[in-house]
Structure formats: structure tokens, C-alpha cells
Structure 1
Amino acid sequence: MSTDSKTSLLSYEKQALMDLLTDDCLVVLGEGITYQNILLSYLESYSDPGTLLLAVECPEEMEEWLLERLTLSETAVVPPKKVTSEIHVEKRTDHYLQGGVQFISKRILVIDLLCKRIPTELITGIVFFNAHYVRDTSIETFISRLYRTDNKTGFIKAFSTNPIQLNKVNQAETCMRHLFLPRIHLWPRFHANISECIEKHKCEVVELHIPLTDVMKNLQMCIIDLLHFCMKEVKKHIPSLDSDFFVVENAVGKDYFRSLKKVLNPIWSHLGPNTKQLVQDIKIISQLNNQLLQCSAVRFYEVVHKLKPTGASRSSNVCLWMFTEAFGRLLSLSKERVEQKEAEKIELSPKWEAIQEILSEIKAENKNGPPKNTLFCVSSYATAKQIVKFIKYGEVSTLAEELLSTQRPQKDLQADIPPSEETEDSRTTFGLEESHNIRFLVEKKYTMIQEYLTSLNPTYVILHDPDLFMVRSLEMFRCRRPGKPLRIYFLVYDNSIEEQRYLTQLSEEKKAFEQLIMMKGNMTVYTDQDGREGTNAMLERGHQGLKFKDLESQDSRQNHAKSFPKVVVDMRDFRSSLPSILHKSGMDLIPKTIEIGDYILTPDICIERKSIVDLIGSLASGRLFQQCQAMCNTYKHPMLLIEFDEANGFSLQNYSGVTDAVVTSSLQTQLTLITLHFPKLRMIWSQSEYTTASIFHELKKGKEDPDVGAIETVSKESSIISSEFNHSVVNTLLQLPGVTSKNYFLLARKFANILEISKTSQERLSEVLQNKEEGRALFEFFNQVENKSKPDDKSGGAKNKYAKFKKFKRK
């Protein structure tokens, strides 16, 4: 980027940059208030070989943009770098010592800090993103603790654009405490600097409050009645729930269903199938509101018609709300809009009529001049494709085609399915002719929305679906283009759920910032909150850091001098929060790539850790059987740790589904078979990571630390054996006297199968096993079998008994 990057900052960005340069702080911005230019200017000042700044888990779009701009910057002495797993571990230290700005993932950074691959004391500072997700168990918390323990001079900065989330249950204070941040800087839309900037470069806004048709009003009332019915039924089954969750006004919010599921999670396993179905139905009915306002009459009728119970479904467990009067009216009214079967008589979407007038107005303005770009901001690809057809072919042809498509077989409808929003580029013409100068942008929370808007370069913007993020983004876009006109057509259905949802977004964010401002004014900041003095309680290790006080008491003043017990952790498990809690509880972690197990506590204890989702998937694929077999063959005390969330209710089977019948596919049956097949395997059930940490401490008491060299050897051998030998034959071999998990591969490599072993002399077996006692035990076992065979059995007893076994080698 050129040297004028700093001078191009807006007034509020200059002030925010000064705040960043002054304090270790948390910066909270309102939705749509961009900060990439602030960050770019800040990183430019640290693009020097004498500094090392780490940008941790930067959003992908922003990371690519920053890498490009910093590389082209004239003020950056050292180009930015990206630390990936492709850089060999032996070269990581040299890579860090090159200095400058380096982008890195959370997992790689925490492992390199533990392995001392990075010179922690030389790190100038760390920048975190999406700070509203930080918890006591987050990897960001782990990184900050490791960093502050060995570096008392470097800085820590954090960004968030979600004030609503930060305002929940003191989340802002929690984030600041765990990231060692003594200051918080708030930048809402109503901040004086931001308001002044927007007022100085105001957009021309044309608000079009479009009235709903009479039929649409009645359909909306039917949907609200159905929501009320389902909520009333759920309330009957769960009377203990807060009544606020069963207010229809709250149900129209975007995050309502997610909030409801979160509240129901602790008792979800106790709910019957009817109650669970009602909860899912609330989501389906809520989505009908969006489809009513965004789809054409034909598409909405198609959606509603698919919900209608068929003759086959009437005999099964059908939702009660489908037999209510409200649903009957919903079906009849949606049909009424299209029942004429003539495109000319089908009810036209009111917004389509408004779009016609807007495009005519734009065309008239540009009649005698060069054409200017028009941008449609829509909520989905389906809406965009529908508008494209409407603009190109008119409403009659569009509705006629939709009528035909509803009568085609389902396989023919696949062509009308919009592309995935995850893979489709948001900047697309959707087949429009270039003469239209119209582009579409699907409303998503783009990190680099300003770059998209700059590339699209619109003069006119039609907000088809009101969205707070897009409104703010367009205001910022206008501020960055002084003197260039920007007209926004804001379309919203009057007195509709769409309007209510937008107003709720505004009020919730305003309320969140007001409460954060109050919190900032009343917040107690301790003198050691930044962790630089070394007395911060967050830096202490031992039982003080755990929720459960059942660990052996430790003197926190001697924590740094004390030798903590060691645990080997599979590097793939650093994506979870358990390693952070183990370290905080007073264990030293040794990251290694291990083939057998996830955690090695002692030379004899190996633990495979599974969440409930992982457990079900591993049982279904058969992988868990192989993992248990490998642990039992290698370690004296193999253990399977099954961990579930303490905040969520859990049971292996819903109470209403418990029967006397044995079902082989059920979770209980499969776990029982695992237990019977591996008698020395122990299962540990844990309700949280904190409980797991307590269990690990109990298992480690009075025992040796694991031998890292032996673990690496076992991992290498297991990877070779898993690809070289047949597991079923090896498992049989391990049942024989004198054969152990430490010597079975010696036999498997020297002999073709068990039959060949049975014919070998005692001296040869002792030589192969490198142990006389083990060789004698194995030889006597086969001799006893042969002695019991009949004299006239010319084929030999051992041959008859073991000839059926396959070869050890896979090939």
C-alpha cells in the first residue's frame, strides 16, 4: 500500500489507531463499522525486522487483504509472513526470528509456545480477533497465559464486532480478564466521531414503506397463530421454562430458535418425541415468515403445499398444528393467490412493483449520460435469481414459468435450485446483460465488505431486504468516497415482521452499547490485570484455576519453581479446550503426534478421548474398535474417556425409548460389546473438561511420567504394523502364553502364521522372543495341544487346530 494509507483514515479511525498505540485494550465496534484500515496502519508500524507481531486466527478474507497490502506497502520494511504447518518444525524458530508481522493459527501458536519453538520473550505483541468468543477454556486464553508468563513487556490487543454477545453475562469483563486487557474502547454508531463523519458524507436515502396486500396480512396472521399454538403446546410439556421464550414477538428474531435450543439443551434428553417435534416445528413456521415476504405467490404456495399432511402421513405421528384452523386458512389463502392458474391474475409481489418504478427512475436519470451501476442487496440467491428473471422477462413470464415448474417432476426442479451460498461468489451478474449495469450482492457478514463495494462501484443501491450490517456498510462506503453520489433505496414492508426484526436489531445493539458504556464506567480494573507484574491470579497454576477443588493443594507462590507432572498430548487434540485446562490445573504438556490414544499419562496409561458426537461416529464406522484394540495391545491400562457437556442434558437413550428388546445398532449394545471384547479396557464418563482434569490428576498420583522416546517408538511401530499385519490374526496371537503387546510383532515378522509357530522348537522361539521364559511358555502350550491329539491322527493335532488361521502379512 502507498504511503498515504494513514492519511486516508477517517476521523474515528485515526482516534481508534491512537487508542491502539497507547494501551493493551479490547476494541468493540458496532455491526458494519469497519476496522481493517485501522489494523493495516497499525501493522505497518510493526513491519520491521526488530519486532515480532503475531496476528492470531485473522479472518480469512481480511488476512488475504492485509497480506497483499502489507506486501505492497512502502512503509513496511519486512514483508508479512504466514506461519503454516508446511513450514518444518525445525525451521520454525528461524522463521519467527525474521521478525515483522506474521499471521498464525491458534493451534500452531499454542503448540510452538509449549515446545519452545518460538522465542516468547522476543514477541513484541499479539493481536486477537472475534474476542466475543473468548471463554475461560478458549485457546486464546491458553495462548495469553503462556505468553504473559514468559513475556512481561509485550502487548496484547483484541477486536470484536459483536457488542450484543459481549454484553451477555459479563462476557466483556470475562474476555478482558482472560486476555489480560485493562482497557476497553467502544465505537458504536452513535459515537460522536462516527456520527460526525457519516453526517458530513450523508447518503441519499429513499425509504419506501410498502404496504402488504390484504391476503399477505391474513397469511402473516395465520403464521403468528400457528407459532402461538406450538408455543402453547411446548409450554404445557415444559411449564418450568421462562414465559419470555413463548412470546410471539420474540419468535420472529433471527436467533430465537438458537436461543430456545440452548435453554432446552439441559433437559433435551428428557423430552418426549412430540415435544422435540414441536420445537422443530417452531423453526419451520418461523421460516414461513421470511418466505412469505421474499418469495413470489407461486413459490410460497409450493412451500406451504409441501407441509400439508398426505394420506400416508395421517396414520403416523403428524404434527397437531397441521390440523388447526389457522393452517387450513394458510393453505386456502396461499392457494387463492394462484388459483386462477393464469399468470396475469396471480398476485404480484408488492416489492416487484416498487422495483419497476425505481429502475424506471434510474433509467430516466441516466438517459442522456453514461450508464451508472446499480447494486441489488438481497438476502438469498433464490431471491436474486427471481429478481433477475423478473427484470429480464417481466412478471407475467416469470410467474408463468414458476407455475410450470411446480407441475414438473421433482428431478426437473433441480435446475431451479440456487447455488450454495458457501461456494458461490457474491459478486455476480446472474446472466444479466451488460446494458443493465445491475449487480447483486447477497447479504452476508463479509469481513471485507468495503472491498466488495469498491469493486462493484455502485451509484444506486436497492436494499431489497433490510439488514443492519448492509446499511452501516453502505454508510461507511459513502464516507470513503467524498464527492461521489450514492443513493440508497430502502425497501421494507410496512407493519410487517421484516420491519419489526430490523427495528429489534437496532434497539438490541443500542442497548448493548449503553450497558457496555455503563460497565466501562463502573468497572474495577486491578493494577495487575495486564499480567505484567506477575501477581495476576490468572497466571497461577494448580487447583486454584479449576472449578473443582478436589485436586491436591499446591502453594501458588512456588508454582514456577515446582516440577509439574507431565502428560503427552496428541497434537490433533489441541483444537479442544482440555489441554488448556490441564495446563492451568498444574500439568506440563508435551505435544506429540501419537498414533495410539490421545493422552498418555504414564508408561502404562493411555486414554482415547471421545465426545458424544465422536463416539457415535466412531462406533458407526468401526474405528473405535480398532482404536481400543491398538490400546489394549500396547498399554497395560487402556482407557476410553467419554466426555459430554455439563450444560447439556445427556443420556444414552431417550427415556421413552427404553425397551427390553436388544437392538444391535443401539449405542448401549455397541458399548457393551466393546466392554466384553476388551475386558481390560476401562471406560471413564466425564461431565466436563474440568472433571476430566481432576480425573487425570487422580490417575497420575504417585506414578511415573510417560517415556516420550518409548511413545515415539510405539507410534512408529504401530503405523508400520497397522499397514503390514492382519489385526484379527494378531489379536489371536496375543491370547497365547508368552506373547505380549511388546513382543508379538517379533513373531509376526519371523513367521508366516500361527501354524508355523506351532512347529518351531523351543530354542528358536526363545531366540525370536529374546526371552527364554516366554519362549518356553509358548512352546509348552503347543506341545500340550499336540500330546492330547489321538495317536492315529496322522495329520497332527496342531495342524488341524491352527491350519485355519490366515497369514500374518496382509499381502
Structure 2
Amino acid sequence: MAEDNEIDQLLEKTNLEYMLEFETQIFLDVIHKDGLVICAKGLNLDLVILNVLKVYCDPGNLVIVMNANENEEKYFVEKLNNENVYVTTYDSHTTEREDNYLSGGVHFVTTRILVLDMLKKRIPIEKVTGIIVLRAHKLLESCQEAFVLRLYRQNNKTGFIKAFSNSAQSFTVGFGHVERIMRTVFVKELYIWPRFHSLVIESLKKHQPKVSEFHIPITDKMRKIQTFLLELMNLTVKELKKNNKSVELQEISVENCLTKKFHKIFQLQMDAVWHQLSSKSQQLIADLKTLRHLMITLFYADSVSFYSLLSGYRTMEYAKTSTWVWLEPAEMLFSFVNSLLFCGDKEFNAEICPKWKCLLDLVKTEIPNDIKKSKSKEHKILILCSDSRTCHQLKEILVNGPHKYLFRRALIKKVNFKSVNKKYESYDMPRIEEEPSTSKKAKLDETTDKKEDEEDDLQNSYLLTMTQTFVESNDESLNDSEVQFEPFSQMENMNLTQICESVAQTQPTILIQTFKGGDNYISLQKTLQDLKPNFVIMYNTNITAVRELEMYEAHRQQDIPLQVFFLLHNETVEEQSYLTSLRREKEAFEHLIETKSKMVRSRGSRWQIGTSASYCRES
């Protein structure tokens, strides 16, 4: 009873009403009993961890947070807004650190400093209230975290240890990985929270965004190129397995090569036997990575970039080491790729990505029409994409148009052509100077960037504003020429909240951002809270981002739902990669649930099921 009263007093410092049901359950579980919490990607535990920190953010407690990155430290310090929160860095003096430890509160400390301070007896280990471990799946990668926890537990038998992770797949690698992590963290309870957990489904179903899916077919040329690349990958995988029959290569398949985690899966599989592989096998592995990069470039970049990249591999120097360029599908690929850029006698007529047209229709027609019908004064659009290169690409397309972007890329990549199609002549293009040879080569003049590429200027986010306010227009729809976009030049000197306040309420705002966000955000969730968008366009698919949007809408609980538009290519690598990632995560959680059941059966009361044991399929 005394323990329950003490916990009730601690809970008075928290804000449980704002949390969803499953977040509240996770919070209550880890407060009552220490354990390892494994959540699905996208089900962010920021709010749970924040409330745990609020419980112990007091001079009478000394709590240490491990494995937090710089952005997370800033986020938690800002949210706690308490003088009893300390961020320990190498700049702080040893005496200052000692005084801070004796002052109690919450301390964000790097592992190296923790090891040093514990060995030097600067931290009163016996008085530490507890340790919170973030990214628990990385504990076995470095011995320092494990060493800190062992030092702590040897000198302090009563303090708590609470560990969190959102990477279920990391716990399925190797033999007994979960048990080893739990022994390292000195906990007995394992809490598993997949997306298909019944309580998670109930919590997110109450308030769901309005979703519209646009299934965009790829062009016949892209489909044919994809076929050639898949054939090359299949032949390379077969050759690799043929030359290494004694090595276990079940994970090395064309399907897995297309997934986002291919490099990590491959490294875990091959690290132990890498020294046994012949130089030919190692080259085949390098060829797989090259072919995968080509496949991603085909769908995530543009036709000019793909053409330039593929042309770089058609050299005698590269052919001496790589064998895939000699295969029949490669020869057909090299011959066919010209059709992406040219028609007739070297006439530049680059093929436009099918997604671009759909994106332009959304931001210039569909969304403006929806805004006209709504009574909201603020109009904010968030476009999410995979990487900074795609982010810059979309900014250029909205500001300058797809034809001007492709032509500029051709100039930067030094693509040779004899003439330009009429589609490009209508734009204000840089002039083309004639070379002494029979062909014409485009050169950059003073009005264009003289760098070979814009990669030095790539950012994780761009803000655009519409130059014409369509809300005041009496027309039912707008033509492309009536809507223009301009970059917001002051973004570097302002945070997102200040930017949104500075832009006029009647002026629509578009933020283009990668899934991971900029340096100022610890996650997409922070961006959504600051921007409060009315519309979200998923230019690329990502499991984590989809679930973060669900979490944001569930917390928002507004009558007018958030509108989300998905742009999907059918029967492509993008779709296959997304489905494979879902399947692999589901298999990882099923493995964890089975492992947990074995723990309960073999060790009895020493292990606890933790939370609800009811699960159902993710819809």
C-alpha cells in the first residue's frame, strides 16, 4: 500500500490525459516495474519518456538518461522547462559536473563521460535513483553502455533501469538477442507493442486522417528498364550463390536487395564469412549494391540523373572489374536508356516522372479547390519525401517547372544533344553554344549554377509560399499559370513556429521535408506539431512516417480530419520495398512474442507477460 501511495504521488506530476490509451498503459507499466519496452516504428515513445522524466525531475532524485542524441536532448529540456535538468558535455568542468550530480534532477550524459565519472567516483552511484536507456537495441554494439549498467548495478541494488527501443528487427538478429539485451539491462519484464496490438488499433481508430491514394502507373520505358535491372540482379544473386555453396545466403535474394535495410541485413549476414569470400564473390556483392542504386535512382530521381549515372558505368575501366555490364540484359539496357532522353536524331525530349504531374495537379488544382470550400483561414501543405536530393528536386519542380528542371539537369550533367524539343523552347532556357564538332553541347552561362551539381546546397527542408492567393479568386479552378511558388528566403534564420507566424494567414504555405526532418526536429511528430498542416502529401512511402501521421491525428482529435494524399507507383520497387518492410517487421514481432512466451513457460513468475496479450492483424 505504501508503494502504491508513493506511485500515486509521483503520477500527480504527469499529464496522462493527453496520452493515448496504449501510451498510458506503457507509462504505467514501466513506472510500476522496470522493463524493456519494444514498440513498432512510428509509435513514438517521446511522450511516454517525457512523462517518466517529469515523475523523477526533482532535486531529491538523480536520474541519468543514456543514448539520447543532441536533438532529443534539446526537445526534452525544452518540454521539461525545469532548472533540475542538466546536459553534460565535454566542455563542462569536472567540479561543475560533480556539483550538478549532487544537485539531483535529470542528467543527459554521454556514455564516455559516464564511464569516466563512475570510475573516478564523481557520481554518487549508490544515490542514483535510476537510469533510462534509449535505443536499447544498440547496447550490444558497444561495450561501454553495458559496462556503465554493470557498474551501476554492482553499486546500487535498488535503483531502477528502464529501457526503450523502436527497432523490433534488431532483436531478431543472432541467437538469444532479446535475452542478452535484458541481461545487460538487468530487467525481467519485456513489453512488446506492435502496430497490430489490439489497444494500439483501438487508440488510433478513434481519430483517423482522411486518406486518398493515387496509384500512378509507370511509363512503358520505366517498366522495361526495371525488367532489365531485375534480370541483372537475379543473375548476379544466382552467380553469388553458385560460387558460395558452403555459405548460408538465404537472406540474399532479389526481394531483400530492394528493401531499405538491405545493407544492414547484408552486413550482419556476411561479416562473419567476409574473409572467406573470393575476390569474385566480393565483386558480385558490390555489383548488387550498384544495381540496387540504379533501381532506386530510376524511381526516386529523374530521367537525366538515371541516364547520366548509367552512362558512367559503360566504360572499359569499369567493365574490367564488374561482370554485369557484359551480360545480355545490360547490353539491352544500355541501348534502350537513350529513349528516356532523346527522340529522333539526338533531340532532347526527357521523359517526365509520372508522379510530378500528379503532384502538380494536387498543389495547383485539387488542394486549392478543397481550401476554397473550407472555412479555415490557415492553409498549410506538408510534402514528405525520402531524402534531401528528392526534397531539392520537388522544390525546383514547383518553383521552375519540370521541363526547366530537367533541362538544367542536362546542362549540369553535360548531356550531349543536337536539338531541343518544342516543349523546352517555350521556357526561358540558358543559351546553347555550338561546339566545333558536329554535335551541340549545352554549356552553363552566367545565369546558371556553374557547379557540377547542387549537392553542396541540399537541405532536408524547403519552405514555399504561393505568390497568388487563390482563396480570393472567383474561378472554380485555376490553371497552372495562375499559381506560382516562391521560396521563403528567411527560413535559415527562423524556426518553424516563427516562419508560420510570419507568413500571412491567407497565403498558402508549402513545406517540403524529408521523413527524418531537419536538424531542428527530433522527429516528424515535432514538425507536425509546429506546422499544424491541413494537407499532407506522401511523395514517397515510409512505414514510420505513416504511423507518425496516425499518432499526430489521434492526439489532435479535431472534427475536421487531416487530409493525406499517397502517391504510389504500382508494381514497382517502391511498392515492393514498402510491403517487404511491413512483412519483415510483422515477422520480427511474432518472433518476439514467441520468445516471450517461452520465457514465461520456462521461468515462471520471474517473467511477466506485460500489458495486454491480445493481438490482431494490422489493417
1:43-71 superposed Cα distances (whole Å, 9 cap, x missing partner): 11112221111112323222111112212
> Which of 25, 36, 46 is the equivalent residue of 2:56?
46
Residue 426 (structure 1) aligns with: 461
> Which of 10, 19, 22 is the equivalent residue of 2:20?
10
1:195-249 superposed Cα distances (whole Å, 9 cap, x missing partner): 1121111111111121121111111011011112222332343222235244322
> Which of 459, 465, 476 is the equivalent residue of 2:540?
465
Amino acid at match of 1:418: E
Alpha-carbon separation, structure 1, partners of 2:592 and 2:276: 37
Residue 250 (structure 1) aligns with: 256
Residue 205 (structure 1) aligns with: 211
Alpha-carbon separation, structure 2, partners of 1:403 and 1:92: 56
Residues 51 and 478 of structure 1, relative CA distance in 2, 3 Å threshold: same
For the 8 Å contact 1:291–1:300, the answer to whether it is kept is: yes
Residue 337 (structure 2) aligns with: 334
Residue 359 (structure 2) aligns with: 355
Farther off after superposition, 324-333 or 260-269: 260-269
Residue 283 (structure 1) aligns with: 289
Higher relative contact order (CA 8 A, sep 6+): 2
1:345-371 superposed Cα distances (whole Å, 9 cap, x missing partner): 432211112112222100112236545
For the 8 Å contact 1:12–1:194, the answer to whether it is kept is: yes
Residue 45 (structure 2) aligns with: 35
Residues 303 and 383 of structure 1, relative CA distance in 2, 3 Å threshold: same
1:696-749 superposed Cα distances (whole Å, 9 cap, x missing partner): xxxxxxxxxxxxxxxxxxxxxxxxxxxxxxxxxxxxxxxxxxxxxxxxxxxxxx
3-state SS in 1 of match to 2:451: helix
> Which of 124, 131, 152 is the equivalent residue of 1:147?
152
Q: CA deviation at 1:526?
A: 7.8
Q: CA deviation at 1:270?
A: 4.6
> Which of 434, 451, 454 is the equivalent residue of 2:526?
451
RMSD: 2.7
Amino acid at match of 2:400: Y
1:576-599 superposed Cα distances (whole Å, 9 cap, x missing partner): xxxxxxxxxxxxxxxxxxxxxxxx
Alpha-carbon separation, structure 2, partners of 1:436 and 1:296: 27
Residue 430 (structure 2) aligns with: none
Equivalent positions of 1:443-522 (< 5 A) are 443-444=515-516, 447-483=522-558, 484-522=560-598
Residue 70 (structure 2) aligns with: 60
Alpha-carbon separation, structure 2, partners of 1:250 and 1:3: 47
For the 8 Å contact 1:57–1:105, the answer to whether it is kept is: yes
Alpha-carbon separation, structure 2, partners of 1:290 and 1:255: 13
Alpha-carbon separation, structure 2, partners of 1:161 and 1:104: 21
For the 8 Å contact 1:32–1:469, the answer to whether it is kept is: yes
Residue 215 (structure 1) aligns with: 221
3-state SS in 2 of match to 1:45: helix
TM-score, L = length of structure 1: 0.60
Alpha-carbon separation, structure 2, partners of 1:271 and 1:342: 47
Unaligned stretches of 5+ residues in structure 1: 73-77, 531-811
Residue 438 (structure 1) aligns with: 510
Amino acid at match of 1:41: N
Residue 80 in structure 1 maps to residue 65 in structure 2: no
Residue 406 in structure 1 maps to residue 425 in structure 2: no
3-state SS in 1 of match to 2:592: helix
Amino acid at match of 1:36: D
> Which of 114, 117, 123 is the equivalent residue of 1:112?
117
3-state SS in 2 of match to 1:116: coil
Residue 80 (structure 2) aligns with: 70
> Which of 400, 403, 412 is the equivalent residue of 1:393?
400
For the 8 Å contact 1:70–1:79, the answer to whether it is kept is: no
Residue 132 (structure 1) aligns with: 137
3-state SS in 2 of match to 1:34: coil
3-state SS in 2 of match to 1:127: strand
Amino acid at match of 1:174: R
Q: CA deviation at 1:138?
A: 2.3
Residue 30 (structure 2) aligns with: 20
Residues 420 and 159 of structure 1, relative CA distance in 2, 3 Å threshold: farther
Alpha-carbon separation, structure 2, partners of 1:233 and 1:380: 32
For the 8 Å contact 1:180–1:529, the answer to whether it is kept is: no
Residue 416 in structure 1 maps to residue 453 in structure 2: yes
Residues 282 and 50 of structure 1, relative CA distance in 2, 3 Å threshold: same
Q: CA deviation at 1:382?
A: 2.0
Alpha-carbon separation, structure 1, partners of 2:296 and 2:18: 40
Q: CA deviation at 1:83?
A: 2.5
Q: CA deviation at 1:122?
A: 0.8
Q: CA deviation at 1:420?
A: 7.0
Residues 432 and 266 of structure 1, relative CA distance in 2, 3 Å threshold: same
Amino acid at match of 1:8: Y
Alpha-carbon separation, structure 2, partners of 1:255 and 1:124: 37
Amino acid at match of 1:46: Y
Residue 293 in structure 1 maps to residue 348 in structure 2: no
> Which of 161, 167, 170 is the equivalent residue of 2:172?
167
Alpha-carbon separation, structure 2, partners of 1:49 and 1:453: 33
Unaligned stretches of 5+ residues in structure 2: 1-11, 415-441, 465-484, 489-502, 609-619
Alpha-carbon separation, structure 2, partners of 1:437 and 1:332: 43
Q: CA deviation at 1:189?
A: 1.2
Q: CA deviation at 1:255?
A: 2.3
For the 8 Å contact 2:340–2:350, the answer to whether it is kept is: yes
Alpha-carbon separation, structure 2, partners of 1:528 and 1:14: 24
Alpha-carbon separation, structure 1, partners of 2:607 and 2:154: 13
Q: CA deviation at 1:413?
A: 6.2
Amino acid at match of 2:410: L
Alpha-carbon separation, structure 2, partners of 1:224 and 1:125: 52
3-state SS in 2 of match to 1:485: coil
Matched residues, number:
518
Q: CA deviation at 1:466?
A: 0.5
Equivalent positions of 1:552-701 (< 5 A) are none
TM-score, L = length of structure 2: 0.78
Farther off after superposition, 165-174 or 88-97: 88-97
Q: CA deviation at 1:32?
A: 0.8
> Which of 310, 316, 325 is the equivalent residue of 1:304?
310
> Which of 323, 326, 329 is the equivalent residue of 1:323?
326
3-state SS in 2 of match to 1:347: coil
For the 8 Å contact 1:377–1:442, the answer to whether it is kept is: yes
Q: CA deviation at 1:478?
A: 0.9
Alpha-carbon separation, structure 2, partners of 1:528 and 1:4: 30
Residues 114 and 371 of structure 1, relative CA distance in 2, 3 Å threshold: closer
3-state SS in 1 of match to 2:192: strand
For the 8 Å contact 1:177–1:529, the answer to whether it is kept is: no
Amino acid at match of 1:283: K
Alpha-carbon separation, structure 1, partners of 2:141 and 2:336: 52
1:272-291 superposed Cα distances (whole Å, 9 cap, x missing partner): 44332221111010111111
For the 8 Å contact 2:307–2:338, the answer to whether it is kept is: yes
Equivalent positions of 1:701-720 (< 5 A) are none
